[in-house]
Chains A and B, each alone.
Chain A
Amino acid sequence: MTSATAPSDLAAALGPTPRLERLRWLADDTLTIAWRFLASMVRMPESIVFSAIQPMLLVLLFRYVFGGAIAGVHGSYVDFLMPGIFVQTVSFGAMVSAIGMAEDLQKGVIERFRALPMARSAVVTGRTVSDLTRNVFSVALMTALGFAVGFRVQTSALGFLAGFGLLLLFSWALSWGFALVGLLVRNPETAQLATIPILLPFTFASSAFVPVGSMPGWLQAFAKNQPVSAVVDACRALMDGGPTETHVLVALAWSFGLVAVLAPLAVRRYTRIA
């Protein structure tokens, strides 16, 4: 099977890898790792069903339970609500990154990866790319359901697609952050618990479900100036109408800013672990 090679030949043959080759490996390995998560998701149809149920329930509950009671919104509540639900869904969906990362650490899959000649950062980038793919499906699913319960895009198809793209970018930023959480806590149960105190305040103390103006002053200060609100406002402007430019710029700044900070932190944490 394997022939013994003299050490000296080997060291020479394994000289430094060119930069371009390394970049190609990073891309290849990222896709392989992303494929790994998507392939294992396909093998667990029940998990796809259950992860789809939560956003669907949220759409229905908010639409019909709160829809009547929440007044003071111009236009229809369902049009106001849907962008908020989209952002909330991708935010809670990012929890999977934290749990999955911690699980891989605990089970020893990462141990195996670390002994392979793959690009090290691909373990984290692959995770975030698979999350991105998953989010495309979950937002598409919610859009379909939204249409069924009366959601209409008031602007244009282009506006809707722009909002869709912005959502995905923001979800990608969150994946990095939650992957970092998983790498820090190293235990799937703890990882899940650790994401809740981050997710609840940011999604609920935001413009996702109610106009920020209805909150007390001190809470408004937070709710107006945090990333979830920024992305919700931008999506709402793009899909529902109103001035878009400032909202979109602020949302883009938040999203790119989060990626710029969280991605290097997550990769660094991964390479330094243990």
Chain B
Amino acid sequence: MPERPAIEVHDLVKVFARGRVRALDGLSFEAGTGTILGVLGPNGAGKTTAVRILSTVIRPDSGRAAILGIDVGGDPAAVRRIIGLAGQNAAVDENLSGRQNLQMIGRLSHMGRGPARRRADELLEQFELTHAATRPLKTYSGGMRRRLDLAAALVAQPPVLFFDEPTTGLDPHTRQDMWTWTERLARAGTTVLLTTQYLEEADRLADRVIVVDHGRVIAEGTPAALKAELGATVLLVTLEDHERARDAAALLETVGSRPPTVEDHVVELNVDNGPRAGSEAMRALDAAGIAVLGLELRQPSLDDVFLRLTGRKAEAEPGARPLAAAPAAT
């Protein structure tokens, strides 16, 4: 029997605010067992809504989803025994200590008192929180909070994990740590669905990436394939005279992997080899007598992906909302 994907999502639809916000609009994708799937999209694309449906927090209006072959709507109780959830909306109790929070989750996962306590201490050790084990959570720093949040998702050692924007707002050091832990989990056979706004994060961690916009998948593939489509690097040429921008773009057509875009003084190109493209661009513009103020090379961002895929900038829209009326400020 061929193995089914660990996560199967078929045509999910979810509408909020009495039909005014269509958070999911026919979302479909799959994630193989033991792989990391990156779900990339701007705020309001429907990423969080999808995670909340897959983790049985809310029900979809229509469509189907299954985790390890178990239907999310049909047997949510069984699904809850095989998943772990960490991320922007799933909080822990501020007044309890780190150890108390983990023990509580262990006991609510029906591990029994002793095993729950042992597992809590094991996780505190693993995430370097032993020194703060008895302190109330409200005294934790942002990075410590996020580590505890991740630990909370791992208490029952679930084979499928959902990480909803696990590194948003984190300092670079903690972000690196989160990446290392996520990779370690996947290597041990855990399936991870990770939502992110950072192309860099998806690139670093994910085996496959889906790009979500307005509640549906608009592109998918390996991070390498997505980047190849884009060109590995973005070259920005700033001109002295914006009236020459059109001429410059025409000249640079052959330098980039796609037609250049023009915004005021700046011509933007996707290129494979940054430095070489830069000097080629300089020579061509020099020969045509177009004065250049600056050259800049940078990694493509989610904005670039969006601009390519949709022709517009990635913008936040009122889509996903937590259970309560006002969003948590964590």
- Give the contacting residue for B3; candidates A7, A105, A122; CB below 8 A: A7
Q: CA–CA, A141 to B305, complex, Å?
A: 64
Give the one of A5, A108, A109, A274 with max B CB within 10 A: A108
Q: Are B159 and A116 in contact (CB under 8 A)?
A: no
Q: CA–CA, A107 to B330, complex, Å?
A: 8
Q: Does A250 contact B (CB under 8 A)?
A: no
- Give the contacting residue for B105; candidates A1, A4, A116, A187; CB below 8 A: A116
In this complex, what residue of B is CB-closest to A44?
A: B95
Q: Are A36 and B189 in contact (CB under 8 A)?
A: no
Majority secondary structure of chain B interface residues (helix, strand, loop or mixed): loop
Residues on A with beta carbons closer than 8 Å to the beta carbon of B322: 106, 108, 111
Q: Does A20 contact B (CB under 8 A)?
A: no
Q: CA–CA, A108 to B154, complex, Å?
A: 18
- Give the contacting residue for A116; candidates B34, B80, B88, B328; CB below 8 A: B80
Q: Are A32 and B56 in contact (CB under 8 A)?
A: no
Within 8 A of A (CB), among B309-330: 322-326, 328, 330
Q: CA–CA, A66 to B61, complex, Å?
A: 59
Within 8 A of A (CB), among B74-107: 75, 77-78, 80-85, 88-97, 100, 104-105, 107
In this complex, what residue of B is CB-closest to A3?
A: B189
Q: Chain A: interface residue count, which band?
A: 35 or more
Residues on B with beta carbons closer than 8 Å to the beta carbon of A105: 323-324
In this complex, what residue of B is CB-closest to A110?
A: B323
Q: Does A148 contact B (CB under 8 A)?
A: no
Q: Does B300 contact A (CB under 8 A)?
A: no
Residues on A with beta carbons closer than 8 Å to the beta carbon of B78: 11, 14
Known: A28-B107, A118-B108. Contact between A108 and B330, CB under 8 A?
Answer: yes
Q: Are B188 and A117 in contact (CB under 8 A)?
A: no
Q: Are B82 and A106 in contact (CB under 8 A)?
A: no
- Give the contacting residue for A40; candidates B83, B96, B105; CB below 8 A: B96
Q: How far is the CB of B22 from chain A (nearest CB, A)?
A: 16
Q: Does B271 contact A (CB under 8 A)?
A: no
In this complex, what residue of B is CB-closest to A185?
A: B325
- Give the contacting residue for A117; candidates B3, B58, B81, B152; CB below 8 A: B81
Q: Does A273 contact B (CB under 8 A)?
A: yes
Q: CA–CA, A105 to B57, complex, Å?
A: 12
Q: Does B40 contact A (CB under 8 A)?
A: no
In this complex, what residue of A is CB-closest to B136?
A: A43
Q: How far is the CB of B49 from chain A (nearest CB, A)?
A: 10
Q: Are B33 and A187 in contact (CB under 8 A)?
A: no
Q: Does B278 contact A (CB under 8 A)?
A: no
In this complex, what residue of A is CB-closest to B138?
A: A43
Q: Are A107 and B68 in contact (CB under 8 A)?
A: no
Q: How far is the CB of A226 from chain B (nearest CB, A)?
A: 31
13 pairs, A vs B, C-beta closer than 8 Å: A4-B159, A6-B3, A28-B107, A29-B108, A32-B107, A36-B100, A40-B95, A106-B323, A108-B322, A108-B323, A115-B80, A115-B83, A118-B108
Residues of B with Cβ closer than 8 Å to A? 1, 3-4, 6, 33-34, 52, 55-58, 68-70, 75, 77-78, 80-85, 88-97, 100, 104-105, 107-110, 136, 152, 154, 156-159, 185, 188-191, 322-326, 328, 330
15 further A-B pairs in the complex, CB-CB below 8 A; given A7-B33, A11-B69, A28-B107? A3-B189, A8-B69, A10-B68, A14-B75, A29-B108, A32-B104, A33-B108, A36-B104, A44-B95, A112-B152, A114-B57, A115-B84, A187-B324, A187-B325, A274-B323
Residues of A with Cβ closer than 8 Å to B? 1-8, 10-11, 14, 17, 25, 28-29, 32-33, 35-36, 39-40, 43-44, 102, 105-118, 122, 186-187, 273-274
A-B pairs, top 8 by smallest CB distance, nearest first, are A40-B95, A7-B69, A108-B91, A106-B324, A4-B189, A118-B108, A117-B80, A115-B85
